[in-house]
Amino acid sequence: MLRYDLHCHSTHSDGLLAPGEVVRRAAARGVDVLALTDHDEVAGLAEAQEAARGTSLTLVHGSELSVSWNALTIHVVALRIDTANEKLAAGLAAIRSGRETRGQRIAQALAAAGIHGAWEGALRYVTNERLVSRTHFARFLVEAGHARDVKDVFSRYLTPGLPGYVRHDWATLPDAIGWIHAAGGSAVLAHPGRYKVTPGELTQLITDFRDAGGDALEVLSPSHTAAQVDQFAALTRVHGLRGSMGSDYHGPGESFLDLGDLPPLPAGVTPVWTTW
Ligand code: AMP
Ligand code: MN
Ligand code: MN
Ligand code: MN
């Protein structure tokens, strides 16, 4: 059976390894099919593809799109996209365009909470000027001694109700899925267990996702407990969706799972790749 990992990041968004390093690490760890899914960005895929040429690994061209749904931020993973597609490229550019201003507002919000120099501090960690992310602020906040590690940052700062949180409008769900389909890709609702929603809102989110043409739920994710894996496996069947899996790897020391560190999809889930 092939080993799939369909969600990870490189220095083209908030990962710590360059695309080629991600691919070589995945290949060395026995991954057969890897999707590089940088946030709102596809620029790392050329280097990743070049690195994959020298290995037995098959690279899937992907991205993880930031979406606003009912005032919440959710993520939609795009798989097997044609990165030259103009609709998708324009959509990704639109999502990215608000990130710099948002980052400056995050820095202002942190300054109001007594933490100064966060913009310059975060920029020291930014590896793609088009992609300033909360993760870069988190790395600065760890360095400045405000939290133990990146995960700890998000329980103290940068999330709703906490210092440094800034509301932001990303793409709409129908737009994001439309761009992914225009580019020939599959749309996967990323880590559905991670969103702070009521059970009723979760049902609504999955229904809206499916009604907008969404293809799959990310059943296996480091964000999920064993009970959530069972829950989302069942929900793929209830909603007629397929299932996906990904480590969401960001780099050594920062991720719960390493590349390829996932069990097979639970029995009864139709994999997103069955039609590939
Ligand atoms: P952004 O797209 O700028 O809002 O940043 C979102 C990124 O922050 C996610 O992709 C994760 O890498 C990171 N992140 C968000 N919440 C957490 C958390 N609780 N623990 C660790 N990383 C997180
Ligand atoms: Mn990330
Ligand atoms: Mn995500
Ligand atoms: Mn991710």
- Cα 13 from Cα 63, distance rounded (Å): 10
Nearest Cα residue to atom 16 of ligand 1 = 154
Residue-wise DSSP of 123-172: HTT-SSTT---HHHHHHHHHHTTSSSSHHHHHHHSSSTTSTT------B-
61 — alpha (psi -120 to 50), left (phi > 0) or beta?
beta
- Cα 155 from Cα 146, distance rounded (Å): 11
Give 48's strand partners.
none
Per-residue pLDDT reduced to its tens digit, 17-39: 999 999 999 999 999 999 999 99
Kind of pairing, strands 186-189 and 216-220? parallel
Q: Are 172 and 67 in contact (CB under 8 A)?
A: yes
| Cα Dmax for the chain | 53
**Hey, what are 154's tokens?**
């998000």
Measured from the alpha carbon of residue 40, the closest ligand is 1
Distance of CA 50 from the midpoint of ligand 2 (Å): 23
Phi/psi of residue 239, nearest 5 degrees: -100, 5
Q: Are 126 and 107 in contact (CB under 8 A)?
A: no
Q: Which atom of ligand 1 is nearest to the CA of 135?
A: 8
Which DSSP letter does residue 260 get?
T
Distance of CA 76 from the midpoint of ligand 3 (Å): 8
Say whether pLDDT at 150 is over 90.
yes
Per-residue pLDDT reduced to its tens digit, 97-148: 999 999 999 999 999 999 999 999 999 999 999 999 999 999 999 999 999 9
Three-state secondary structure call for residue 189: strand
pLDDT (0 to 100) of residue 38: 98
Percent above pLDDT 70 for the chain = 100
Mean pLDDT of 190-196: 97
Kindly state if the Cβ of 14 falls inside 6 Å of ligand 1: yes
pLDDT (0 to 100) of residue 6: 98
pLDDT (0 to 100) of residue 207: 98
Name the residue of 8, 13, 14, 65 to mutate for ligand 1: max ligand atoms within 8 A of Cβ: 14
- Cα 245 from Cα 210, distance rounded (Å): 18
**Residues making up the chain, counted from first to last:** 276
Kindly state if the Cβ of 135 falls inside 6 Å of ligand 1: yes
Where do the DSSP E strands lie in 221-265?
242-245
Kindly state if the Cβ of 134 falls inside 6 Å of ligand 1: yes
Mean pLDDT of 55-80: 97
Mean pLDDT of 240-258: 96
- Cα 135 from Cα 125, distance rounded (Å): 9
Mean pLDDT of 39-46: 98
Distance of CA 188 from the midpoint of ligand 4 (Å): 12
Distance of CA 272 to the CA centre of its chain: 17
How many other CB atoms sit within 10 Å of the CB of residue 205? 20
pLDDT (0 to 100) of residue 93: 98
Q: What is the chain's mean pLDDT, rounded?
A: 97
Burial 207-229 (b: 16+ CB within 10 A, else e): ebbbebebbbbbbbbbebeeebb
Kindly state if the Cβ of 39 falls inside 6 Å of ligand 1: yes
Amino acid of residue 113: A
Say whether pLDDT at 54 is over 90.
no
Q: Are 251 and 133 in contact (CB under 8 A)?
A: no
Percent above pLDDT 90 for the chain = 99
**Hey, what are 250's tokens?**
């960001």
Kindly state if the Cβ of 154 falls inside 6 Å of ligand 1: yes
- Of 191, 186, 207, 193, the C-alpha closest to 270 is 186
